Amino acid sequence: MKCNWKALATEVITSLSQNEREESIAYIEQRIIPAGEKLPWPGIMQSFVEPVVIAFIDLEPALNWTHRGRYLVLDVEGGIRHKLDVDRPPFLTHVSPHLRLIHQGLQAPDWSVVTSTMVQYV
């Protein structure tokens, strides 16, 4: 199964308010989570009957440890299936090798980005 990663990344970014867009950092897990598999991030201990893609928006990247964030569960063909507000990023213990930076707001500090390069989907 293939994904239109550019369209999914655009969907994640356009889900942000203008203020969130300026201050946040957004990532997408660039792999398809198979139907029935538990999602690999803390706080979303569920599975879906169809394959999905997950994204994380760090809403307060300049803060350490616990702070506001949001998980998005996306349909592989597009559309946000589920939003979940969380109080910590999914990468406190390790960074997934599939995690891709898709957006860094102008006010988000460079030091708070956990992946080295931005994927230019949009």
Residue 117 — pLDDT band, cuts 50, 70, 90? low
The pLDDT, as a whole number, for residue 104 is 94
Average pLDDT, the chain: 87
What pLDDT does 58 receive?
94
**Which residues have CB under 8 Å from 120's CB, separation 6+?**
none
User: With 90 as the cut, is the pLDDT of residue 119 above it?
Assistant: no
Beta pairing partners, 83: 72
| pLDDT exceeds 60 at position 122 | no
β-strand pairing of 69-75 with 52-58: antiparallel
Domain boundaries, the chain: 5-112
pLDDT of residue 116: 62
Q: What is the pTM of this model?
A: 0.89
* 85-108 pLDDT per residue, tens: 988 888 777 778 888 999 999 999
Q: CA-CA distance, 120 to 103, in Å (whole number)?
A: 9
Q: What are the beta bridge partners of residue 80?
A: 74
Q: What is the pLDDT of residues 1-42, one digit of tens each?
A: 788 999 999 999 999 999 999 999 999 999 999 998 888 777
Name the band, by pLDDT with cuts 50, 70 and 90, for residue 46: confident
- In which band, very low, low, confident or very high, does the pLDDT at 66 lie, cut at 50, 70 and 90? confident
